């Protein structure tokens, strides 16, 4: 306790004071409106499980129309009956108090506000040690409405059912009933209602995969309706093609007066041409590439903000989408970063604003260079894994750039008996001299999707790869040689696994 008085400690006999205890029935409804989504609400519960040292967290949404429910089970330290009562209290701890290093909480509210935001009934069962019994408590918003009292229910049927789940183990179970903010009165048989419920469950999983990716990478198991969460790394650090820019350490004075370092690491993600289609799609994130550019704020390994420039004058731009900057801060700096109750918002302290603007500008500049270098990449000196054979090359030796079709490309060699014959050379020169540069420039380069330079459907691309492979085999190349050549030639260099399945005996 911090020594401050609770309303119930006050009496009318004290001078100059009038009791202003909140009305339970009104305030508890207001606590529902902190702006959580189902995903941010579940993330707030997962925070609590992680703080309680859980190794496995199981989230289960059950579709049953208006009677749908959610249950989160963890194998963490659990709570004694007294701790559980305290945990159910809105404002169970003071945000000004310092916290253990691994504690992701701050406000003493999350369990309640996150749950109330989605459901009218919150039941928690917990067991701290095997020698202690499990206990349960339930907030029932209708009961609070009726009684206008801040009371939780004990020994109720929902609680007793959850307690049985803790037979023989420690941990905590959180259950939501009456999900009035998630479902409406459509019955369980309504296919569209069910579909949107399942889409919500999918969103929850993607959100947890991003927010807790570092914990998952370090061995935490989170399951959502049975599906194991896979870490979503915003920087594709394992990919090898991400550019890691200069790291910076900024200094900040903590509220306690200590000098603290803020670690800032800008990344330029690989250009689309360097990623296979599924990696590219997933790396885009839940909001998509464009909206996921900017700063990523981590607090104690937990992702709080996933892409924001923190600058009113700077909007997300297509040509800056490869810029992502990692920032880390500790929980004792929460007040300086204006962390919100949902742990979904924070912004840099005013004293760091100029540095953020400077680092953002430099990172965007480099991101734009990589973004615009698309054509050059396929022609330039940095082919994928040092092997790619481009279709185009750029001759920059003169005052202007000349784009030339690569005479060494194996498809060109394989599909013409003699590629140096006058007619073939003439055709190539014709194409090179009529690249519609004016037209392309007049379209502007604001959005690369405007220019469709894909080689056709996957089937067409693969048919071309088969054609090249067979032409090489017929020309006397070994199968493994032919696969290597196809694999290294643009645009087939993104099709490695398909190329491995090619079979020379089908080329006859
Ligand atoms: N799954 C859990 N396992 C063990 N203890 C828990 C669990 N969930 C909640 N608690 C206890 O209940 C307390 C209240 O949780 P609540 O989420 O409301 O607030 P908080 O985590 O302290 O702060 P914040 O509002 O920032 O989340 C926690 O501090 C913790 O002691
Ligand atoms: Mg919490």
Mean pLDDT value of segment 172-189: 98
Beta 221-224 vs 56-62: how paired, if at all?
parallel
* Residue 135 contacts residue 84 (beta carbons within 8 Å): yes
Total structural domains within the chain: 3
| Residue nearest atom 19 in ligand 1 by C-alpha distance | 108
Instruction: Choose the final residue of a domain: 185, 208, 228.
Output: 228
Same domain, 172 and 301: no
Same domain, 187 and 218: yes
CA of 221 to the centre of ligand 1 (A): 19
pLDDT at 15 (0 to 100): 80
In a domain, 199, yes or no: yes
pLDDT at 102 (0 to 100): 81
CA of 310 to the centre of ligand 1 (A): 29
pLDDT at 399 (0 to 100): 55
In a domain, 423, yes or no: yes
In this predicted structure, the answer to whether residue 397 has a pLDDT above a threshold of 60 is no
Q: Is 112 in the pocket of ligand 1 (CB under 6 A)?
A: yes
Mean pLDDT value of segment 43-59: 98
Segments forming the whole domain that contains residue 251: 237-372
| Residue nearest atom 21 in ligand 1 by C-alpha distance | 105
- Please list the alpha-helical segments (H only) found in 132-288: 141-147, 157-164, 191-211, 213-217, 277-283
- The residue that leads in pLDDT, 185 or 432, is 185
pLDDT at 417 (0 to 100): 57
In this predicted structure, the answer to whether residue 423 has a pLDDT above a threshold of 80 is no
In a domain, 10, yes or no: no
pLDDT at 81 (0 to 100): 96
Same domain, 36 and 158: yes
Same domain, 222 and 353: no
Ligand nearest to the backbone CA of 50: 1
Same domain, 161 and 38: yes
Same domain, 185 and 257: no
Same domain, 175 and 286: no
Q: Is 124 in the pocket of ligand 1 (CB under 6 A)?
A: no
Ligand nearest to the backbone CA of 95: 1
Per-residue pLDDT tens over the stretch 249-308: 999 988 888 898 999 999 999 998 889 999 999 999 999 999 999 999 999 999 999 999
d(CA 73, CA 488): 49
Q: Which range, of 102-111, 188-197, 216-225, averages the lowest pLDDT?
A: 102-111
Average pLDDT along the chain: 87
CA of 39 to the centre of ligand 1 (A): 17
Same domain, 329 and 269: yes
Query: DSSP letter at 284?
Result: T
pLDDT at 377 (0 to 100): 41
d(CA 274, CA 242): 10
d(CA 208, CA 230): 9
In a domain, 135, yes or no: yes
Per-residue pLDDT tens over the stretch 439-482: 676 665 555 455 556 566 778 888 888 888 888 888 888 888 88
| Residue nearest atom 27 in ligand 1 by C-alpha distance | 110
Per-residue pLDDT tens over the stretch 140-180: 999 999 999 999 999 899 999 999 999 989 999 999 999 99
Same domain, 207 and 259: no
Instruction: Choose the final residue of a domain: 208, 228, 248.
Output: 228
Q: Which residues contact 13 (CB under 8 A, 6 or more apart)?
A: none
Same domain, 114 and 175: yes
Q: Is 172 in the pocket of ligand 1 (CB under 6 A)?
A: yes
pTM of the model: 0.74
CA of 47 to the centre of ligand 1 (A): 8
Same domain, 96 and 210: yes
Residue 129: is it exposed, middle or buried by C-beta count within 10 angstroms (0-12/13-18/19+)? exposed
CA of 344 to the centre of ligand 2 (A): 13
Cβ < 5 A residues, ion ligand 2 = 47-48, 105, 110
Ligand nearest to the backbone CA of 343: 1
Residue 394 pLDDT grade (very low, low, confident, very high; cuts 50, 70, 90):
low
In a domain, 266, yes or no: yes
Q: Which residues contact 331 (CB under 8 A, 6 or more apart)?
A: 99, 103, 104, 106, 299, 300
Instruction: Choose the final residue of a domain: 314, 337, 372.
Output: 372
* Residue 95 contacts residue 106 (beta carbons within 8 Å): yes
pLDDT at 376 (0 to 100): 43
């Amino acid at each position: 306790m911090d020594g401050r008085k609770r309303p119930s400690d006050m009496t009318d006999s004290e001078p100059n004071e009038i009791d202003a205890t909140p009305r339970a029935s009104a305030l508890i409804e207001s606590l529902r409106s902190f702006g959580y989504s189902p995903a941010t609400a579940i993330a707030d519960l997962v925070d609590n499980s992680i703080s309680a040292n859980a190794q496995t967290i199981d989230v289960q949404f059950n579709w049953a129309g208006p009677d749908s429910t959610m249950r989160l089970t963890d194998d963490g330290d659990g709570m004694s009956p007294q701790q559980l009562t305290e945990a159910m209290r809105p404002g169970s701890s003071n945000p000004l108090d310092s916290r253990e290093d691994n504690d992701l909480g701050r406000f003493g509210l999350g369990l309640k506000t996150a749950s109330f935001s989605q459901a009218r009934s919150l039941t928690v069962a917990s067991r701290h040690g095997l020698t202690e019994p499990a206990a349960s408590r339930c907030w029932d918003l209708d009961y609070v409405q009726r009684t206008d009292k801040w009371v939780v229910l004990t020994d109720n049927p929902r609680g007793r059912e959850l307690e049985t789940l803790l037979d023989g183990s420690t941990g905590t179970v959180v259950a939501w009933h009456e999900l009035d903010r998630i479902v409406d009165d459509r019955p369980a048989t309504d296919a569209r209602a069910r579909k949107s419920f399942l889409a919500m469950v999918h969103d929850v999983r993607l959100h947890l995969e991003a927010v807790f990716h570092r914990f998952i990478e370090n061995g935490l198991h989170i399951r959502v309706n049975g599906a194991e969460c896979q870490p979503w790394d915003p920087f594709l650090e394992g990919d090898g093609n991400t550019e890691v820019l200069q790291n910076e350490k900024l200094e900040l004075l903590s509220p306690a007066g200590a000098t603290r370092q803020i670690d800032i690491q800008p990344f330029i993600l690989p250009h689309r041409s360097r990623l296979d289609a599924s990696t590219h799609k997933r790396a885009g994130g839940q909001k998509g590439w464009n909206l996921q550019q900017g700063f990523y704020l981590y607090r104690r390994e937990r992702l709080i903000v996933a892409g924001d420039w923190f600058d009113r004058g700077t909007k997300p731009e297509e040509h800056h989408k490869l810029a992502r900057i990692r920032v880390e801060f500790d929980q004792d700096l929460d007040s300086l970063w204006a962390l919100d109750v949902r742990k979904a918002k924070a912004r840099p302290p005013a004293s760091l604003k100029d540095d953020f603007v400077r680092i953002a500008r430099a990172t965007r500049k480099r991101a734009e260079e990589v973004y615009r270098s698309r054509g050059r990449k396929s022609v330039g000196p940095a082919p994928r894994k040092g092997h790619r054979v481009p279709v185009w090359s750029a001759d920059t030796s003169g005052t202007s750039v000349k784009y030339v079709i690569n005479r060494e490309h194996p498809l060109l060699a394989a599909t013409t008996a003699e590629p140096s014959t006058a007619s073939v050379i003439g055709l190539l020169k014709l194409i090179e001299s009529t690249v519609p540069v004016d037209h392309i420039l007049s379209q502007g380069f604001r959005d690369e999707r405007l220019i469709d330079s894909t080689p056709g459907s996957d089937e067409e691309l693969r048919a071309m790869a088969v054609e090249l492979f067979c032409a090489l085999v017929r020309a006397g190349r070994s199968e493994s040689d032919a696969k290597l050549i196809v694999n290294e030639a643009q645009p087939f260099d993104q099709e490695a696994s398909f190329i491995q399945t090619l079979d020379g005996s089908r080329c006859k």
